[in-house]
Amino acid sequence: MNAADTSSLKLTQNALKVLEKRYLKKNEEGKVVETPEELFSRVANSIAKADLLYGKTEDEVQYTAQRFYDLMTSFRFLPNSPTLMNAGRRLGQLSACFVLPVGDSMESIFDAVKYAAIIHKTGGGTGFSFSNLRPKGDVVGSTKGISSGPVSFMTVFDTATEAVKQGGTRRGANMGILRVDHPDILEFITCKDNNYKLNNFNISVGLTEEFMTAVEEDRDYPLINPRTKMVVNRLKARDVFERIVNQAWKNGEPGIVFLDRINATNPLPSLGEIESTNPCGEQPLLPYESCNLGSINLAKMVTKRQDAGRLTSRGLDVDWDRLKETIWDAVHFLDNVIDVNRYPLKLIEENTKANRKIGLGVMGWADMLIQLRIPYNSETAIELAEKVMSFIQTEGRLASCELAEQRGVFPNYDKSIFSGELPMRNATITTIAPTGTLSIIAGCSSGIEPLFAVSFVRNVLEGTKLIEVNPYFEEEMRALGLFNRELIERISQTGSVRDIPEIPEEIKQVFVTAHDITPLDHIKMQSAFQKYTDNAVSKTVNFPNSATVKDVEEVFLLAYKLGCKGVTVYRDGSREEQVISKQSTKTIDSQVTPDTTKVKKLIPKKRPPVVTGGTRLMKTGCGNLYVTINEDENGRPFEVFTNIGKAGGCASSQAEAIGRLISLALRSGVDAEEIVKQLKGISCHQPTWYEGGRILSCSDAIAKALEKYPANKGKQTKSNGGKEDDSLDKHIISHIGACPECGGAVEHEGGCAVCHNCGFTRCS
C-alpha cells in the first residue's frame, strides 16, 4: 500500500485523507490546523487527565498520557470516532451510543425528538423503542381523537434528524425498534419498503421468546395494546416471520433483535428492561444511557514464535502478552473517557456514570487470520475467534476489577446480582462495533468482517483512479513471483481471487472476501464472538444477489439457534438503483430481479412540431442561467433547454448536457420529481444566494427551476413535505450504494454502510 510518512506515524494515503476530512482540527476557513500526531496527543492528554480524580500526580498522568499515545499511534487500539474528534476540544462529547425513551404522550415524544437533536448535534447516534406508543387508530384520551401510531411519529424523528445534519462531520443516525407483539407490527415491518423514506433510521423488529416458540410450533401469538396491556388481536407467527424475512431479502431491513435474550444478560435488571440499542444494534442500553466504544486491532497481535502451535505453518501465532497489555490499557482508557466526557444531557451523565458501561471490541480480525494462514470460513477460525474473544473478555474484566479496587465499583453495582464475581468498575466490558473509518485509519480490515475486497479501485483525485491491493496479498504474490499489474487489474474487477486460475488454491482459501463465503459462515463467526461479548456484535451477513428468501430465513433461524442477539442481512444489489461494488459490467448487466425475464427497452416520445413552456432566470455562481421548460400535451414537463455564459464555454456545455439528459428522461416517462431528487443539492465551489435561497451549482439551479415549474407545483418534493431542501439527500444515495461524498461504492459491513474510498459511513 502507498504510505505517507507523517513524522513518526506511518499512514496510508487514504488514512491521511480520512483524518484530514473528518478528524483533524480546522480553522474558520476550513483549513486543517492539526497534524495526526497532534490529534493523538490531544486525545491522549485529555483522557489521561481523568487520573487526577483518583489521586494520581501530574507525573503519573503524563506517564498515562504517553501510554495512551503509544496505544493509539501504534494502531493497537483506537477509540470511537467522537472521542478522536472531540477529546480536548470545546465540544468534548465523546460517546457514540445513546438510547432515549419514547413514552406514550405528546410531551414524551417531542422531548425525545428534542433530546435526539441535541445528541446528533454533538456527534452521537440514538436508539429508540417505539413499542410503548399506542397503536394507530387507538383513542387519544385527552382529545378523544385517534392516534396515528408509532410509524407516523418515526417520520417526525427522521425529519428532525435530517435537519440537524450533525455539522457535516457525522450525520444523524437512529435505530427504531418495535416489539413483534405491538398491534402495528405489520406496518412497521414494511415502513422502509420505499427507499426514500426514513433514511435516517435503521429499523429492527424486537422478537420475543414467545414469538420464536410460536414460529417453531406454527401457531398464533397475541398482539398487545401497550396502553391497555390487553390482547387486541392474534396473528400467525410464521406469517409474520415470513413477512420480516421477505422484507429483509428485498432491501436489507428490518433487522431483528432478540429482546428476551438481551435482557437475560442485562447486568442491571433492577433498573428496568432494555428495549432498544444504538443505531448499529451492538449496544443495548437502558433509557438515558450512553456508552463509549473502542476497538483493539488484532492485525497487530501476531508475532513470530519458534514454538508456534498447530494453528499455523508460518512460525506465527497470537501474541497473547501484547494483547493482554493492550486490553488493560484500553479498559483504563475507556473508563477515563466516562469521567472527562461532556454529556449532552444531565440525565445521560448521571445514568452513564452510575453504570459506567464500556464497549471494548476488535477490528483487523480478517488480517489476523490471513497472517496465520487460517481460512475465515473454517472451523479453526471459529475456534480461534472463541479463544481470542474469551481472552479479551476475561482480561477486560480483570482490568476492570483492578480499577474497582483503586477507584471503587460503579455506583449501581448490586452485590446480589454479581455475587460470586469479583467487583468491577464497569457494568459491561465488551462490545463489537462497526469500525468503518477507524479501520481505514489503522490500515486494517473492518471489525470481525472478512475482507471486502482483495483489490479494488479507489478514486484519489477527480478523474484519477488508483488500484488498491491488500498488503498481505501483495506480499504473498511477490514471494511467489506472480505479482503484476495485469493480475491486479483482473482481481479489482470483482475484488475476489476465487476465479483467478494462476493463484494457488491455498492462497484462494486464505484470501476470501465477504461474498466468497456463505451466509451461514457469517452467522457462525458472529455467534463465536457473541459467546464472549457482554453486549452484542455488529456484523452484516452478506448474501449474493441470487440468494432466495429461504436463504435469509435459514440465517435468521440459525442466528436464534446459535445464541446471537440480533442479525443484519444485506443481499447484494437488493436496493433499487444500487451501484454494485467490485463487479464487472458483464455481471451487472446480467442481474435481474427474481420475477423478471426480460427488460423492456424505453423509447422516448417524439417531439411534436410545436410545444409551449416558459423560461426562468436562476442566478448561479457562474452567472445568470436561463432554464426553459416546455410541456407535453398533458401539461407535464417534456423538455428542458438551458443558456448560460458564452457558447462553447465550460459552463454552457455542461448545462446543455444536463438539459439534454433531462429532456431524454422526461420524454422516456421519468417523473420530474425523481429528476429533481437526483440533481438538487449538488454543490460546486461557487454557491450563491437567489430569491432567499441558496443555489449550490448549475445542476442545483436547474433542479430548482424544474421543481418550481407550475405543472410541478402540486407535487413539489413529496418526500420533504414541499419544503425547499438545500442539500441532496445523502442518505438516499448511501442506501442505493453510491457514496454521497465521493461517488465510490458503499460496502455493507458491521451492520452499517461504509465507503472505503473516503471513509463516509451512513451510521453514526
Q: What is the β-pairing status of strands 220-224 and 201-207?
A: unpaired
How big is the chain by its Cα radius of gyration, in Å?
A: 27
Query: Torsion angle, CA of 471/476/479/481, rounded to 10 degrees?
Result: -100
Q: Which of 14, 86, 162, 280 is catalytic?
A: 280
Cα 454 to Cα 490: distance, rounded to the nearest angstrom = 11
Q: What is the DSSP string of 258-277?
A: EHHHHHHT-S-GGG----EE
Instruction: Check residue 539 and give left, alpha or beta (phi > 0: left; psi -120 to 50: alpha).
Output: beta
199 catalytically annotated:
no
* Longest Cα–Cα distance in the chain: 88
Through-space distance between the first and last CA atoms of the chain, rounded to whole angstroms:
28
Q: Which of 282, 449, 468, 747 is catalytic?
A: 282
Cα 360 to Cα 356: distance, rounded to the nearest angstrom = 13
Cα 627 to Cα 261: distance, rounded to the nearest angstrom = 59
Cα 508 to Cα 218: distance, rounded to the nearest angstrom = 43
Q: Which of 14, 80, 174, 278 is catalytic?
A: 278
97 catalytically annotated:
no
278 catalytically annotated:
yes
Cα 745 to Cα 754: distance, rounded to the nearest angstrom = 9
How far CA 699 is from CA of 22, 98, 594, 718, in Å, comes to 26, 38, 36, 20
3-state helix, strand, coil in the chain (%, to 5): 40, 20, 40
Cα 408 to Cα 477: distance, rounded to the nearest angstrom = 53
Residues 6+ apart with CB under 8 A from 377: 512, 516, 517, 518, 521
Query: Torsion angle, CA of 729/184/252/273, rounded to 10 degrees?
Result: 100
3-state helix/strand/coil string of 328-365: HHHHHHHHHHHHHCCCCCHHHHHHHHHHCCEEEEEECH
Cβ-based burial of 22 (10 A; exposed 0-12, middle 13-18, buried ≥19): buried
Cβ atoms of 566 and 526 within 8 Å: the answer is no
Cα 76 to Cα 321: distance, rounded to the nearest angstrom = 13
Cβ atoms of 495 and 454 within 8 Å: the answer is yes
Cα 585 to Cα 50: distance, rounded to the nearest angstrom = 54
Residues forming the active site: 278, 280, 282
